[in-house]
Structure 1
Amino acid sequence: MRDQLARGASEPRALAILMGACVVLFIAQWPGLARQAHLQQVDLQPMMMGTLFAMVAVLPLLLYALAALTQLGARIIRRPVGGYGARFALFWALLAASPVFLLAGLVEGFIGPGPSLSLVEFLALTVFAFFWISGLRAARTAMAAS
Structure 2
Amino acid sequence: MAVTAQILRTYRHPRRVMRGLMASSLRDDRPEARGLVYVMLGCLIIAISHVPTLISVEADLVGDAPLEARLGIAFFGWLFVAPLLLYGLAMLSHILARVVGGQGTGFAARLALFWTVLTVSPLFLVRALVTLANDATPVFAVEAAVALAFVVIWSACLIEAEAAPQGAAS
- The structure 1 residue matched to 2:69, chosen from 27, 30, 46, is 46
Quote how far apart the aligned CAs of 1:80 are: 3.5
Report the CA distance between 1:65 and its aligned residue.
0.2
- Superimposed CA distance per residue, residues 67-101 of structure 1 (whole angstroms, 9 cap, x where no aligned partner): 00001111112234310111000000111111111
Q: Does the alignment pair 1:3 with 2:20?
A: yes
**Aligned counterpart in structure 1 of residue 34 of structure 2, from 9, 13, 18:** 13
- Is contact 1:37-1:43 (8 Å) kept? no
**What's the CA shift for 1:113?**
6.0
The amino acid of 1:65's aligned partner reads G
- Alpha-carbon distance between aligned partners in 2 of 1:142 and 1:73, rounded to the nearest angstrom: 15
Q: Are residues 1:116 and 2:138 paired?
A: yes
In structure 1, C-alpha distance between the alignment counterparts of 2:165 and 2:122, rounded to whole Å:
29
| Residue 94 (str. 1) matches residue 117 (str. 2) | yes
Match of 2:12 in 1: none
Q: Secondary structure at the match of 1:112?
A: coil
For structure 1, the residue ranges without an aligned partner over 5 or more in a row are none
Distance 2:24 2:159 in 1: 17
Q: Which moved more, 1:84-93 or 1:36-45?
A: 36-45
Map of 1:139 onto structure 2: 161
Q: Structure 2 unaligned runs (5+)?
A: 1-17
User: Superposition RMSD on alpha carbons, in Å?
Assistant: 2.2
Per-residue CA deviations over 1:53-75 (Å, capped at 9, x if unaligned) read 10001000000000000011111
Matched residue, 1:130: 152
- Equivalent pairs, count: 145
How far apart, in 2, do the equivalents of 1:129 and 1:24 lie?
19
Which shifted more, 131-140 or 117-126? 131-140
Aligned to 2:48: 27
For residues 134 and 82 of structure 2, the distance between their equivalents in structure 1, rounded to whole angstroms, comes to 24
Contact 2:127–2:142 (Cα < 8 Å) also in 1: yes
Offset of 1:112 from its aligned partner?
Answer: 3.3
Structure 2 counterpart of 1:71: 94
Q: Is the 8 A contact 2:47 2:74 kept in 1?
A: yes
